[in-house]
């Protein structure tokens, strides 16, 4: 199916140069600019990822998918707009990705209030998730790689947790939902949370704060416990070329079904807390970005009054350099680590550390049509497949 979709995209690219005027180059507007429609189509092909290094929380490989999305903005008044987006992956039924109202109560000031299924507050890459903003085909580990943790199921002890080490694409625990299912990433860039978000700023400083249902790794439409998440992000443009940002989030992680199966009350103690620091530098043809994320999940241990403190950290550095008109090269180097826990037979990290290097580049066939290729190297200290080398190709069109 992916090969057929990519073949169709290649055919479309072939005729684009001859009929470029028939494809929209900008979002389409109606009603004197009060209605704006945009879209994005991408087709990506790569060998099968037998180690599930690129498996996402949509349960697809990000290197083997056909994705189509449409966005809509309706400006009801000068102060109120409604925004939404639907997406389909691998020709499946379209699903709502975003739907929220944007309110600007004081048009003369930098103040936005967004209510509904809103963009993420936490992190830097979550604001660059659209294909045209990502210089490579793969996603950073912190935003895509699945750990073995689940919000709807709990390990009975440390030994059961360690048995799932490196198995985030299909983990199983004995408490709560016992069906095998995917785990969660450190922070999700592919699913948006639901709640209220406020953004303001002063000169070169922007501040965003939100209250939502889920957590960075487990965004929700409807809440599955009695807690909420509080998140904040602050960015500062220190110079025209240099931007520094920091993020924080804390929310209740474990679902009420898992807590009930463990015989525990929802006290608000079983949380995920995350902090992040990011920076970007852009000068001429060069762009450099770096991001560090640390997060901790606090899970109950059944039969014990103690709380299992599971920590993870991610570091990512990427660069992009445009060396010819319409062409660029890019690279990303990453490391994902976990803290050690003590089981009855061994002491080791609760999940398997991962290293990734991805190199590639792209060529703009026209301003909003790009062909890209990349080569990705993965290594993991655990799991059924410990190493993977994957070449990928992609066509991406947007308007």
Contact 238, 149 (CB under 8 A): no
CA distances from 134 to 125, 209, 257 (A): 8, 25, 37
26 burial via Cβ count (<10 Å: 0-12, 13-18, 19+): exposed
DSSP string covering 298-331, please? Answer: EEE-TTSS-EEEEEEEEEEEEEEEEEETTEEEEE
Query: What is the structure's pLDDT at 122?
Result: 96
How many other CB atoms sit within 10 Å of the CB of residue 41? Answer: 21
To 5 degrees, how large is the angle CA 337–CA 341–CA 347?
Answer: 100
Contacts of 182 (CB under 8 A, 6+ apart): 55, 57, 59, 146, 150, 168, 169, 170, 171
Question: What pLDDT digit, counting tens, does each position of 84-117 carry?
Answer: 999 999 988 898 889 999 999 998 889 999 999 9
Measured in residues, the chain has a length of 399
**Rounded CA gap, 272 and 38, in Å?**
34
Paired strand residues for 245: 235, 278
Residue ranges of domains in the chain? 2-398
Q: How confident is the model at residue 22 (pLDDT cuts 50, 70, 90)?
A: low
Question: What pLDDT digit, counting tens, does each position of 124-144 carry?
Answer: 998 765 678 899 999 999 999
Residue 37 reports pLDDT greater than 70 = yes
Higher pLDDT, 353 or 109: 353
Q: Does the domain at residues 2-398 carry the CATH identifier 3.90.870.10?
A: no
Query: What is the structure's pLDDT at 16?
Result: 41
Which of 1-15, 189-203, 279-293, 331-345 shows the lowest mean pLDDT across its residues? 1-15
Residue with tokens 């403190």: 309
Question: What pLDDT digit, counting tens, does each position of 245-275 carry?
Answer: 999 999 999 999 999 999 998 888 999 999 9
Q: How far is CA 21 from the centre of its chain?
A: 34
**Rounded CA gap, 41 and 398, in Å?**
6
Nearest Cα to 395, choosing from 81, 7, 121? 7
Token pair of 32 as six digits = 């004197």
Q: Identify the H or E element spanning 392.
A: strand 387-398
Contact 185, 311 (CB under 8 A): no
Through-space distance between the first and last CA atoms of the chain, rounded to whole angstroms: 25
Q: How confident is the model at residue 57 (pLDDT cuts 50, 70, 90)?
A: confident
- Is the pTM here over 0.75, yes or no? yes
How many other CB atoms sit within 10 Å of the CB of residue 150? Answer: 26
Residue 196 reports pLDDT greater than 70 = yes
């Amino acid at each position: 199916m992916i090969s057929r979709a990519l073949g169709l995209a290649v055919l479309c690219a072939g005729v684009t140069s001859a009929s470029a005027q028939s494809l929209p180059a900008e979002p389409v507007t109606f009603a004197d600019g009060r209605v704006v429609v945009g879209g994005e189509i991408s087709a990506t092909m790569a060998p099968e990822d037998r180690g599930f290094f690129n498996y996402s929380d949509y349960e697809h490989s990000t290197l083997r998918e056909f994705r189509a999305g449409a966005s809509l903005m309706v400006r009801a008044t000068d102060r109120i707009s409604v925004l939404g987006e639907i997406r389909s992956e691998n020709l499946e039924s379209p699903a709502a990705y975003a739907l929220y109202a944007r309110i600007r109560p004081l048009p003369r000031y930098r103040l936005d209030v967004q209510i509904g299924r809103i963009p993420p507050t936490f992190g830097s890459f979550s604001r660059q998730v659209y294909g045209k903003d990502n210089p490579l085909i793969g996603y950073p580990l912190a935003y895509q790689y699945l750990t073995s943790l689940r919000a709807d199921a709990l390990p009975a002890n440390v030994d059961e947790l360690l048995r799932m080490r490196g198995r985030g694409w299909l983990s199983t625990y004995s408490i709560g939902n016992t069906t095998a299912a995917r785990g969660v990433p450190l922070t999700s860039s592919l699913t948006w949370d639901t709640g209220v978000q406020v953004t303001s700023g002063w000169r070169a400083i922007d501040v965003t704060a939100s209250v939502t249902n889920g957590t960075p790794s487990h965004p929700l439409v409807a809440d599955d416990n009695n807690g909420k998440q509080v998140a904040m992000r602050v960015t500062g443009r220190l110079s025209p070329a240099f931007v520094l940002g920091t993020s924080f989030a804390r929310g209740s992680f474990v679902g009420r079904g898992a807590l009930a199966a463990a015989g525990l009350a929802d006290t608000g103690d079983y949380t995920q807390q995350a902090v992040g620091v990011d920076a970007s530098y852009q000068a001429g043809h060069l762009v450099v970005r770096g991001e560090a994320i640390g997060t901790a999940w606090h899970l109950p241990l059944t039969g014990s009054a103690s709380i299992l403190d599971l920590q993870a950290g991610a570091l990512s550095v990427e660069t992009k350099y445009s060396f010819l008109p319409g062409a660029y090269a890019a690279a990303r180097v990453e490391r994902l680590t976990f803290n050690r826990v003590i089981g009855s037979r061994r002491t080791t990290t609760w999940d398997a550390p991962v290293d990734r290097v991805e190199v590639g580049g792209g060529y703009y066939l026209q301003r909003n049509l790009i062909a890209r290729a990349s080569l990705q190297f993965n290594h993991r200290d655990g799991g059924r497949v410990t190493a993977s080398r994957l070449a990928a190709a992609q066509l991406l069109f947007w308007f």
